[in-house]
Each structure stands twice: as structure tokens, then as C-alpha cells.
Structure 1
Amino acid sequence: MRRNCDAYSGQTGLTLVELLIVLLIVSLGWFTLLPRLDPTGPRRADVPLHELNVFLDQVRHAAFLSGRFQEVRLDHVQGRIVWNDASHSMHQPVTRCTINASPCPRSEALLRIYPAGYMDPLVLVFANGEQWKTSELDVRLLASERR
């Protein structure tokens, strides 16, 4: 009985090396696409709010480590928040500001961030109508609906 050595030569399919190359190409595509699909990352419109919250979180961390509240100066006319030597600029001019339900003074206002993980109630209203408010019992600002 004679065996045909060419019996398997007509089959189609991928070899192991070809399959590994295809998997490599697909995985590279996923790894380049996944950071853009990250649901936890800020959207482009939320980047200024996210950056300010990161800044405030650094202040909260310092308050926690020291066990004492930290005072942050809010210069809403210049559009800056200053803590020690660090400062953060706002993305839009601030048209209205309240701290502890009182209007901010015309020059600078003091805002406290406490070691327990919260801050004085703050509301910022920007020239484009956007409004940011403090989150209850947190050191974080949340965007409200535009007016």
C-alpha cells in the first residue's frame, strides 16, 4: 500500500507562525485603541476640571499628612488658585464665586481644605456659563449644567 505524501498539501489554513503574527497585529491595535476608550479618564471638555481636581487632591493629601487644614487662596479676578508655591490657572474667566454661601471678596478669598477629606463649599461660575460646585464631603469640584 502506497501512501500519498502530497495528501496534506492541498489543505488551507494558517500555520502557527502566521497565527501568532495575526494575534500580534490584533493586540497592537487593541493596545493603541484602549487608552482612547478609557471610561475613567476625563473627556476633552472635562480636562480643565480634572486638572483642578488633581491640584486640590494634592492639597488634601498635604492636609491629611499634616493633620491640619490647608488654606488655598482663590484669586478669581486673575483666575488662579494658589497654595504655598503652587498655583493653578482657570480655563475661563470666573464671573461669580461663592465660598461658604457668601460671595467671594473682590480681590482674593481663602478656601480651607480639611484633613478629614472635605473642603469649604465653593461655587465657581465661568464666563461661558459653566458652573463648578464642590462635591459633598469631598475635595472635588463637579460640573453643573450650563445656564
Structure 2
Amino acid sequence: MTIAARTPLVLLLVLGGCARPDSLSVSECAARPPGFLTQGEFLAAHPASFRADLVSNSLRLDAAGGLAWNGARVSGAEAEALLRQVAAQDPPTSSYLHFTWDRKAPCANVAGARTMIDRHLACAASGRCIEGPAPRLFPPPPTGRRP
């Protein structure tokens, strides 16, 4: 088969939905933005004595686009309000947010959640945002909506 004969087949496969953006896995989703640290980067940047006093919060995005704050379902507006409360804490480095998402969550939803988090916590400037698998070295946050 010549290149010219294969071109329509390739276009059919690409345009036919073989790689739909809403079905990308975590590893295929957009790269982690600046300021969103891995657990290892966070641990390296903060000594254990500092981390002992931190307040841990988690935001999880499920496959359907729903959000959970510290394990409790929240709406987008509630997540925004909780992020505003975290951002207002003094000193600003007294807490951190750990963002995770379901492997089946649409990349557009992951990107939207990252934007919302960064808008409130200025992740690159604050160093308060962790992204990726759940940290094993921190105690889990209590279930509930506290910031």
C-alpha cells in the first residue's frame, strides 16, 4: 500500500475518535502546571518540623466531574468558597492542598480544577499545592468541609 493510499485510513482513525480528549488517562492528561508540586517535591521543600504543623486539605475530582473536599461532596461554588478560606489563612503557609483526580476524569475538568485552585492559592508563589497520588507520609485530613 502506498503512502497516498494509507493517508485516508490514518485520517479516518484520527477523526473517528481513537484518541478522544475526554477519555485520556491521568498519565495522558496535560502536564502538571508550574507550582503544583509532587509529594516528593513538597517534602524536599519543607522540613519535617515545618510540616508537622501544617493543616492538610484535599480536593478530589471524580470521573463524572464531581468534587469532594476532604472526602465530602461539594459543588464548584462550595469548593471556591473553601479555597477562599484557605487562601485567607494566616500565615498563608499554614496549610496545603492536595489535588487528585480519577483516572477517567475528563482532562478539561482537571484543567478547570487546577485553574480554580491556582486562582485562589497562587500555587507557584505559595508552594501550597500538591498534585498526584495521595500522600502516604501525611496523616489523612479529617473528613468534612473544613478548610
TM-score by length of 2: 0.29
Q: Quick check: which one's helix share is greater? A: 2
Higher normalized contact order (CA 8 Å, seq sep 6+, divided by chain length): 2
Q: Quick check: which one's strand share is greater? A: 1
TM-score by length of 1: 0.29
